[in-house]
Structure 1
Amino acid sequence: MFLRMKHVATPAEVSSSAPAAPLAAWGFLLFPGFPMACLTSAIEPLRAANEITGRPEFAWTLLGEAPGPVRSSASVRFDTDATLAEAAGLDALVCLSPPDARFLDPRRSEAALRLLARRGVTLGGFSGGVFPLMRAQALGRHTPSVHWCYEGAWAGEFPDRGTSRNAIQREHGRITVSGAGAVFDLMLRVIEERLGRALMTEVACWFQHPFVRDETALQARPVARAGGTEAMLPPPVREAVRLFGLHIEDPLAIAQVAAQVRLSERTLERAFRAATGETPLRYYRRLRLERGRQRVLYSTDTVTEIARSVGYSTSTDFARHYQEAFGVHPADERRRLAGLRGLAGAVPPDQQG
């Protein structure tokens, strides 16, 4: 299936009719397996703003590293308008990709990104798109927003680079956004900055998007098997979960966690059971396994390396608990996902066990 989301206008096409303010011209660099929802969440608010005003206030173009269509994670292929090397006249360029995406020609393409940044173009990454941006050494001093389901893969590849828990992060000439809903919020803010709050509100109402998060809003994170998010947990349980997250590789004893949240171990267990339906120990183990699963799915680390990174002394115990939790051996799940993605060779065979 092919879709072509043709840009409204190029900067040159708009120059004769645009108002004095500079055009907000966006480039979206697509990698195979990119999240389609992030792309449409970025473009549709801009399209609506143009339609409401009757003017091409915003322009966008779809880019690929090489000519030709690019297939999304949903197996829908998008025609591109130009290649990265041909990108010109942009105010912002955003990478959209899965976390394991790589440039076909890293030296040339990564240099092209850095050159755009030196020319004043704002660089960004939506969802997994922050990974190729980081590999290109193009994030600068920016502390990126990394989707919670990619945190394990990020920590494994970039252990010395911190991340922001914010859903949207704009600073130092960079923009990173964790997921599609947050991308929509970002674009509403971009519209407000250019055209005012009333127009932004009208665009939001076009899409029945009643709540617009500001840029300090934290990512929503699910609580396993509880049907809620971390923000909904009672304060002591929420603090315990935060401590769990800080000690994935070097797990704390539950007694230590209870002491830090100023509860007895028994009281903490009762609070966890009431809020999550699990004991603190089982919740902590699941959190470690989920972090390990991120690395199984989105890194090329061996199972042994992943086991150690989430506090297991042996890969055998890790694999056994993994299979109990997710119903599949980690190496088998990695191979299965590679097949679903259609990205042959994304994980070398010698690194799948």
Structure 2
Amino acid sequence: MQASATRHVGFLLIPGFSLLSYASTVEPLRAANRLSGRDLYRWSQITDRGRPVAASSGLSIAASGSVGDDIPLDMILVCAGGNPALHRSVRTFAFLRRHARRGVTIGGVSGGPYLLARAGLLDGYRCTIHWDHMAPFREDFPQIDMTHALYEIDRGRLTCAGGIAGFDMMRAIIAAEHGAALAASVSEWFLQTQLRSGGGPQRMTLRERYGVANPKLLRALQAMEDTAQTPLTRTELARASGVSVRQIERLFASHLGTSVGDVYIKMRLDRARALVHETALPILEIAVACGFATGSHFSRAYRARFGKAPSRDRKAVILEQESTLPPQTDKPS
């Protein structure tokens, strides 16, 4: 579908957003204008109060307007990072709902889909989010159809896992609106020689992440990732990998320099930390969801890995991030 008039894109920047995710989505628009010789797109930076907002790197971006302004927009992309679950400004949600009712395309980048879901704008839509936010997102919004894709374009909703995947999504939008030739030129402009579809994986393969090629060890690692909530015994894990218990221990020791138990508990604790940071689930529920039989065992393991008990870790994250968030008591504009 070809777009004729200049399209106005509003980037709603949430404190702690990823600068890379923002740049990956705005730069393709600039390149499309430059390479086409026309103003195909223009963009504005919008914040809750119309003030500059700091990215996770500490660099501040000036705002063009606030969520209280009546800015005519064709598309809104919410850029969020850190702990998007903490952002509960009713001004922001009212802004998103108001534009959604007007038929504006609404999108979220990195942690941005969390805010779209909180505003009720992803029910009935397919979406994705950065893999680090997936566990808490699934806990908070079990009714939403979440995928592990790099990006999803479902009718009037755009969601993207963030990072350089923002470039892939914007390239697809440019291709749909102004043709494949311009989109290819944008890719070449930024030295992108390998195109990625939206359905591509967010994470490296287990082979790449762990630096191993042994197929039996890879089967074991996959089984471990799939069973964080109900951990397999060593006998069950060995059976899933097609080796004996003694052989599986040897594989972990020789290829990874550690034990089955150490790798397993690290996987489960990493998932638990995401839930501690980004949900309000009780600590005991998180312990159970990550395969720990008792809260005390979970707390000891968590403290040993991260240096703080889960309750203290949650409190520290909330205090740190709430200091950068706008007031939550605003009335919708």
TM over 0.5: yes
Distance in 2 of aligned mates of 1:78 and 1:271: 49
Partner residue, 1:30: 13
Distance in 2 of aligned mates of 1:179 and 1:335: 26
Matches within 5 A, 1:262-341: 262-273=242-253, 276-338=256-318, 341=321
1:237–1:192 CA distance, 2 compared to 1 (3 A):
farther
Equivalent pair of 1:191/1:200 in contact (CA under 8 Å): yes
Distance in 2 of aligned mates of 1:335 and 1:279: 32
Alpha-carbon deviations, 1:239-262, whole Å to 9, x = none?
544443443222232433443454
* 1:244 lines up with 2:244 in the alignment: no
Partner residue, 2:136: 153
* 1:81 lines up with 2:61 in the alignment: no
Distance in 1 of aligned mates of 2:141 and 2:111: 14
Distance in 1 of aligned mates of 2:315 and 2:57: 18
* 1:100 lines up with 2:113 in the alignment: no
Q: 1:117 aligns with which of 100, 108, 113?
A: 100
Alpha-carbon deviations, 1:306-346, whole Å to 9, x = none?
22221212222112222333344434444554565463799
Higher relative contact order (CA 8 A, sep 6+): 2
1:86–1:222 CA distance, 2 compared to 1 (3 A):
farther
Alpha-carbon deviations, 1:285-321, whole Å to 9, x = none?
1111000111222233443332222121222211222
The count of corresponding residues between Structure 1 and Structure 2 is: 323
Matches within 5 A, 1:163-242: 163-221=146-204, 228-229=208-209, 237-242=217-222
RMSD: 3.1
**Aligned sequence identity (%):** 29
1:315 aligned partner, one-letter code: G
* 1:40 lines up with 2:23 in the alignment: yes
Shift of 1:163: 2.1
Equivalent pair of 2:133/2:278 in contact (CA under 8 Å): yes
| SS state at 1:251 partner | coil
* Runs of at least 5 residues in structure 2 that lack an aligned partner in the other structure: 327-333
Partner residue, 2:49: 66
2:269 aligned partner, one-letter code: L
* Runs of at least 5 residues in structure 1 that lack an aligned partner in the other structure: 1-18, 347-353
| SS state at 2:158 partner | strand
Q: TM-score, normalised by structure 2?
A: 0.83
Equivalent pair of 2:275/2:286 in contact (CA under 8 Å): yes
Partner residue, 1:91: 74
Distance in 2 of aligned mates of 1:274 and 1:90: 57
Distance in 2 of aligned mates of 1:68 and 1:166: 33
Shift of 1:235: 5.3
Distance in 2 of aligned mates of 1:172 and 1:254: 46
Distance in 2 of aligned mates of 1:205 and 1:275: 39
Mean CA deviation greater in 232-241 or 189-198: 232-241
Shift of 1:32: 1.8
